[in-house]
Chain A
Amino acid sequence: MKQYDTLVIGGGPAGLAAAIGAKKENGEVLLLEREQRLGGILKQCIHDGFGLIQFKERLSGPEYVERFIQEFLSLNIDYETLAFVIKIDKKEGFYHVSYVSKKGVCEVTVRSLIIATGCRERTAKQIQIHGTRPSGVFTAGCAQHFVNLLGEKIGNKCVILGSGDIGLIMARRLTLEGMKVLGVYEAKATPSGLTRNLVQCLEDYQIPLYLSHTVTRVFGEERLNAVEIMQVDEKMRPIEGTQEIVECDTLILSVGLIPENEITESLGIALDLKTKGPYVDDYFMSSLENVYICGNALHVNDLVDYVSESGLIAGKNSMRQHVSTQSVSIDLSDDFLYLVPQRVSVHDVQESMFYFRAKKEMKAADLLVKVNGKEIMKRRYKNLKPPEMEKIKVKWEMGKISENDHIEIELKEDLCVK
């Protein structure tokens, strides 16, 4: 059976960076990609705006990821495409991984696993859209596949539900490709996507945005012919009597992403209900020894630059010699939507990187880090918004984390700032 130090599952931006990271630590690395080509979802994200942090350039999705592919290929890292992991067993400190490819059922033994499987989209049924089951209802990613990769015109008159970045970007893409976008509907009272996308994807093309509205029902026996729109209250429950029928042949759903955690769950790794991804420590290691999670499989990022960054870190860490599964959890205040890593490993450490989202919009807020009740760090944030992820490097002045340390991270809104 072939042996490797590190197996990376997933050849998107996180997995490529992870493989590069591990290889640069002189690891023997194998990467498995389930699709035909490396690149993950960025293959179909043909819009630009990627790479401003990593490359200080404005790149399209394919341009961004192909830079990583080139570096990956130049390092001569082993990889297989159309390879799908079907089984992982832990034996004597190693992982025996079975996967299928055109060659058959293959097996490898590895010391470390990096799960970089990305995320998937919530579906119409998960948000309780009722009615018939016609064609013409697409998740945004599915629509993107048809339009951007296959060059297919999937509709004439489209309604988009969800104002996340993918929904906004699809509104522009469909418009440019000759489809009429009737409007973008958002159940929340505030838009979910980046403000710049509201400007350059909707305003530029005079596409209306309806906040506090949702799609509750679809009509049509064969192809979609209309949707029912309802206003929702502050708890996002539809308000009776506000029903409105909008005739359209296409409904695009951009109603949230969920980390893909089939593999993590099958390994019995604990999941964080807030991120819907696994708990990890500041090495991006899960509760299972030598199993690392990065990119959108860990939590859904808004910028691919952070996805690559987490991959690189996880890749490097997968080559560590001494690994401890001991870690302390972090007490988080209620104003966080989430914070990752959720735990800090018990070890000598100078600093750790955290990513977080605020639960609601805040004009100003202070982030406080306390260890055993003592404040060790404070940072001021302006204009925190749930759609926009923030990053913070915490310097541990004591130089190590011990198992009895009590770490608290608080987000305090400053209500005086308007």
Chain B
Amino acid sequence: MEKKIADLQKKLDQKYPGCIQVELDQSRIVLTGVMNSWEDIIDACKMCVQKDKNIHVVNHIELKGVKKPQMRISSIQDTKYDGRHCDVLIIGGGISGASIARELSRYKLDILLVEKESDLAMQASGRNDGEIHPGVDLNKGSLKQKYVVKSNRSFDQLCQELDVPFKRVGQIVGFKDKKLYPIIWAYAMQRKYICGVDDTCLISRKKIKELEPNLSDDIQFGLYNPMAGSVSPYGLTIAYGENAIQNGVEIALNTAVLSMEVNNHKIIRVTTNRGMIYPDIVINAAGVFADDIAKMADDEFFSIHPRKGTDSILDLKAGKMISSIVSTKTLKKDNSHSKGGGIVHTVHDNLLIGPDAIETYEKENFATERKSIDQVFSKHQKTSNIRQSDIITYFTGVRAATFEEDFVIEKGRNTKNIVHCAGIQSPGLTTAPAVSKDVVKMTIDLLSEHKTVEKNELFNPIRKGIPDLKHMDLKKRNELIQKNPDYGIIICRCEEISKGEILDALNSVLEVTTIDGVKKRVRPGMGRCQGGFCMPLVAKIISEYKNIPLSEVRKSGADSIISYGKTKENTDETI
């Protein structure tokens, strides 16, 4: 191993003379130094990645002249959770944290989940394409592959339990070069029989035309996975969270972990903006900040290099063009920023185009750029005739990639009372059901070392979602309106959302009374007018529900003010 490190140092010195020092420290390769460009830092770290996935690259290289942005935290400062003890503290309310919380609530435990944002699924879990991957792109040997197929198959039951819309829309990867057929056939067979992706098959051009009449005529054959699906990623995360709450978990929003006190390889105390928390076990599901959390816990053995990607959402009418998840591939090595991605028919029947992939040192840079959209469109227009004029909105997410480009799912190496669920990027949404079960197993192992953990006999896996009136048959819809006339008052005309559904969203077990919170739960403002008509109405419903003035209603975070007050505030006369 020491020779390996010396070789690496030599290679790095050749490419980046005098910039970087490499060290092997326990089972991590630590890079230190100063460099001028983030791309070079990424490149240097990637050069050090080992075949042995247990050895992780840790990046301590300083980017010259750049102060990395601080983690954004809510402006709320109070003592709501001060002195709170718990068996398990889950850090992060994305798909990982929420699914772990729910699976952990099968045990009689005091569980607290902290999320720094004003809602669940605010970062990567709310900013992705919602594909439930078939796993055909993954080879043996990675954790991603270990979980993906098993997890994929569990979605029907899971989504039924959590009452989350899920459709197996299928995935087609098209090829335009006939000569590739033997290679792709061999690939498909390897995936099918060695990797266990048993739904994989090759389909003819004719079959593709039957399935997707609007795909490019140049496509000669395709790799088809009927088990690929679409789900609302934030819908699933919120559903997991709500089911967790029903089973006794406490979720603390706007609560950010700021530091930890570690003593004798144990986390004693966790400081947040809302007080000090005293957990027995900590679960690190902090997404792009997972390496920062690991460092706070004195257990830093991997690094996250954020990679942002932008997706565009097309109007419902474009959704009729494509009914599955489609892309085209060549065998040319593609190092461009638009590697991967495709056209996804979402569970809400829109089309989603993207994403691209751009390395960034800013973990929360969610700003969109025009060139991302242009690039992604020019790529996927080769698959089907999609039009930018059908875009209704776009969004950017940041992937929490490790340099090994694989998940880190294990107990702490140096610190004994932490479990990491880190490096979760695609297909992290798909793998959440299986990953969360493994994380729970590790957590119970740790807890069992010093106490007996009992099953939660009252655990109820069923969560009832908010009724979706638009997609109901008219008779049932009529019955519901008879029971609750608010279901008959349409507030969002584009997505046909009623006042009753909005009130249901406000009434959820996890109370999120913001415009975006309501939008994520029942979709007013998701349509083509993007809330131009309904946003004032939704704001008014929130203000009436909460009995607060409109100036206290927020779009999302604590400072996302909608109105500064009344235009006629200083009234002192009455007529």
Q: Are both chains from one complex? A: yes
> Which A residues lie at the B interface, using CB under 8 A?
34, 82, 84, 86-87, 98, 100-105, 120-121, 123-126, 128, 130-136, 139, 141-142, 145-147, 149-156, 177-178, 216-217, 221-223, 262, 265
Q: Which of B367, B470, B565 contacts A152 (CB 8 A)?
A: B565
Instruction: Give chain A residues whose Cβ lies under 8 Å from the Cβ of B486.
Output: 102
Interface residues as binary, B486-501 with A (CB distance below 8 Å gives 1, 0 otherwise): 1111100110101000
Query: Is A132 touching B561 in the complex (CB atoms < 8 A)?
Result: no
Query: Is B488 touching A82 in the complex (CB atoms < 8 A)?
Result: yes
Q: Does B38 touch A at the CB level, under 8 Å?
A: no
A-B contact pairs, 12 of them (CB 8 A): A82-B490, A84-B490, A100-B481, A104-B482, A123-B532, A126-B392, A142-B531, A142-B532, A142-B533, A152-B567, A155-B564, A221-B557
Instruction: Give chain B residues whose Cβ lies under 8 Å from the Cβ of A154.
Output: 562-564
With a 10 A CB-CB cut-off, give which of B532, B535, B540 has the most chain A CB atoms.
Answer: B532
Are A153 and B528 CB-contacts (below 8 A) given A104-B481, A131-B368, A142-B535? Answer: no
Question: Considering the chains assembled together, what is the distance between the CA atoms of A217 and B532 in angstroms?
Answer: 19
| Apart from A82-B488, A102-B486, A153-B564, 13 more pairs, CB < 8 Å | A100-B487, A104-B481, A104-B488, A123-B393, A125-B393, A125-B394, A128-B373, A142-B533, A150-B536, A153-B565, A217-B367, A222-B559, A265-B317
Query: Is B532 touching A120 in the complex (CB atoms < 8 A)?
Result: yes
Give residues of chain B (363-399) contacting chain A, Cβ–Cβ below 8 Å: 366-370, 373, 391-395
The A interface, classified by DSSP as helix, strand, loop or mixed, is: mixed
Query: Is A141 touching B566 in the complex (CB atoms < 8 A)?
Result: no
Q: Separation in Å of the B177 CB from the closest CB of chain A?
A: 34
Instruction: Give chain B residues whose Cβ lies under 8 Å from the Cβ of A149.
Output: 536
Query: Is A102 touching B481 in the complex (CB atoms < 8 A)?
Result: yes
Q: Separation in Å of the A15 CB from the closest CB of chain B?
A: 15
Q: Which of A103, A131, A223, A265 contacts B481 (CB 8 A)?
A: A103
Nearest neighbor of B485 in chain A, beta-carbon distance: A102
Instruction: Give chain A residues whose Cβ lies under 8 Å from the Cβ of B395.
Output: 133
Question: Considering the chains assembled together, what is the distance between the CA atoms of A145 and B491 in angstroms?
Answer: 14
Query: Is A142 touching B370 in the complex (CB atoms < 8 A)?
Result: no
Question: Considering the chains assembled together, what is the distance between the CA atoms of A147 and B567 in angstroms?
Answer: 7
Instruction: Give chain B residues whose Cβ lies under 8 Å from the Cβ of A153.
Output: 563-567, 569
Q: Does B560 touch A at the CB level, under 8 Å?
A: yes
Q: Which of B317, B373, B532 contacts A141 (CB 8 A)?
A: B532
Q: Which of A98, A102, A125, A142 contacts B489 (CB 8 A)?
A: A102
Query: Is B369 touching A130 in the complex (CB atoms < 8 A)?
Result: yes
Are A152 and B368 CB-contacts (below 8 A) given A104-B488, A105-B481? Answer: no
Task: Give the interface segment out of B107-115, B345-353, B547-555.
Answer: B547-555
Question: Considering the chains assembled together, what is the distance between the CA atoms of A367 and B182 in angstroms?
Answer: 65
Question: Considering the chains assembled together, what is the distance between the CA atoms of A16 and B481 in angstroms?
Answer: 28
Nearest neighbor of A177 in chain B, beta-carbon distance: B567
Query: Is A221 touching B566 in the complex (CB atoms < 8 A)?
Result: no
Question: Considering the chains assembled together, what is the distance between the CA atoms of A101 and B493 in angstroms?
Answer: 13
Instruction: Give chain B residues whose Cβ lies under 8 Å from the Cβ of A131.
Output: 367-368
Q: Separation in Å of the A151 CB from the closest CB of chain B?
A: 5
> Which B residues lie at the A interface, using CB under 8 A?
72, 317, 366-370, 373, 391-395, 469-470, 474-475, 477-478, 481-482, 485-490, 493-494, 496, 498, 515, 528-533, 535-536, 540, 550-551, 554-569
Nearest neighbor of B528 in chain A, beta-carbon distance: A120
Nearest neighbor of A223 in chain B, beta-carbon distance: B561
Query: Is A120 touching B488 in the complex (CB atoms < 8 A)?
Result: no
Query: Is B368 touching A142 in the complex (CB atoms < 8 A)?
Result: no
Are A223 and B532 CB-contacts (below 8 A) given A104-B482, A128-B370? Answer: no
Q: Separation in Å of the B260 CB from the closest CB of chain A?
A: 26
Are A130 and B367 CB-contacts (below 8 A) given A135-B561, A147-B567? Answer: yes
Q: Separation in Å of the A37 CB from the closest CB of chain B?
A: 13
Question: Considering the chains assembled together, what is the distance between the CA atoms of A135 and B563 in angstroms?
Answer: 9
Query: Is B477 touching A105 in the complex (CB atoms < 8 A)?
Result: yes
Question: Considering the chains assembled together, what is the distance between the CA atoms of A149 and B537 in angstroms?
Answer: 11
Nearest neighbor of A136 in chain B, beta-carbon distance: B561
Query: Is B488 touching A100 in the complex (CB atoms < 8 A)?
Result: yes
Question: Considering the chains assembled together, what is the distance between the CA atoms of A151 and B551 in angstroms?
Answer: 11
Query: Is B493 touching A34 in the complex (CB atoms < 8 A)?
Result: yes
Query: Is B566 touching A151 in the complex (CB atoms < 8 A)?
Result: yes
Query: Is A152 touching B556 in the complex (CB atoms < 8 A)?
Result: no
Instruction: Give chain A residues whose Cβ lies under 8 Å from the Cβ of B489.
Output: 82, 101-102
With a 10 A CB-CB cut-off, give which of B393, B490, B551, B565 has the most chain A CB atoms.
Answer: B490
Instruction: Give chain A residues whose Cβ lies under 8 Å from the Cβ of B393.
Output: 123, 125
Question: Considering the chains assembled together, what is the distance between the CA atoms of A154 and B563 in angstroms?
Answer: 4
Instruction: Give chain A residues whose Cβ lies under 8 Å from the Cβ of B566.
Output: 151-153
Instruction: Give chain B residues whose Cβ lies under 8 Å from the Cβ of A133.
Output: 366, 395
Question: Considering the chains assembled together, what is the distance between the CA atoms of A100 and B367 in angstroms?
Answer: 39
Instruction: Give chain B residues whose Cβ lies under 8 Å from the Cβ of A103.
Output: 481, 485, 488
Question: Considering the chains assembled together, what is the distance between the CA atoms of A128 and B393 in angstroms?
Answer: 9
Nearest neighbor of B118 in chain A, beta-carbon distance: A222
Instruction: Give chain B residues whose Cβ lies under 8 Å from the Cβ of A136.
Output: 561
Nearest neighbor of A121 in chain B, beta-carbon distance: B532
Are A178 and B529 CB-contacts (below 8 A) given A150-B540, A223-B559? Answer: no
Nearest neighbor of A117 in chain B, beta-carbon distance: B493
Q: Which of B367, B530, B555 contacts A125 (CB 8 A)?
A: B530
Nearest neighbor of B558 in chain A, beta-carbon distance: A222
Query: Is B536 touching A142 in the complex (CB atoms < 8 A)?
Result: yes
Instruction: Give chain A residues whose Cβ lies under 8 Å from the Cβ of B531.
Output: 142
Nearest neighbor of B557 in chain A, beta-carbon distance: A222
Instruction: Give chain A residues whose Cβ lies under 8 Å from the Cβ of B482.
Output: 104
Instruction: Give chain B residues whose Cβ lies under 8 Å from the Cβ of A104.
Output: 478, 481-482, 488
Query: Is B530 touching A123 in the complex (CB atoms < 8 A)?
Result: yes
Instruction: Give chain B residues whose Cβ lies under 8 Å from the Cβ of A120.
Output: 528-529, 532-533
Question: Considering the chains assembled together, what is the distance between the CA atoms of A308 and B555 in angstroms?
Answer: 37
Q: Separation in Å of the B503 CB from the closest CB of chain A?
A: 14
Nearest neighbor of B493 in chain A, beta-carbon distance: A34
Closest 9 pairs (CB-CB, A-B): A135-B555, A222-B559, A84-B490, A102-B485, A152-B563, A105-B478, A135-B560, A222-B560, A139-B532
Q: Separation in Å of the A316 CB from the closest CB of chain B?
A: 28
Question: Considering the chains assembled together, what is the distance between the CA atoms of A217 and B367 in angstroms?
Answer: 9
Q: Which of B368, B392, B470, B475 contacts A123 (CB 8 A)?
A: B392
Nearest neighbor of B472 in chain A, beta-carbon distance: A105
Q: Separation in Å of the A239 CB from the closest CB of chain B?
A: 14
Are A134 and B560 CB-contacts (below 8 A) given A123-B392, A151-B567, A153-B567? Answer: yes
Question: Considering the chains assembled together, what is the distance between the CA atoms of A137 and B182 in angstroms?
Answer: 53
Instruction: Give chain A residues whose Cβ lies under 8 Å from the Cβ of B470.
Output: 86
Question: Considering the chains assembled together, what is the distance between the CA atoms of A126 and B550 in angstroms?
Answer: 27
Question: Considering the chains assembled together, what is the distance between the CA atoms of A125 and B536 in angstroms?
Answer: 19
Nearest neighbor of B374 in chain A, beta-carbon distance: A128
Query: Is A135 touching B562 in the complex (CB atoms < 8 A)?
Result: yes
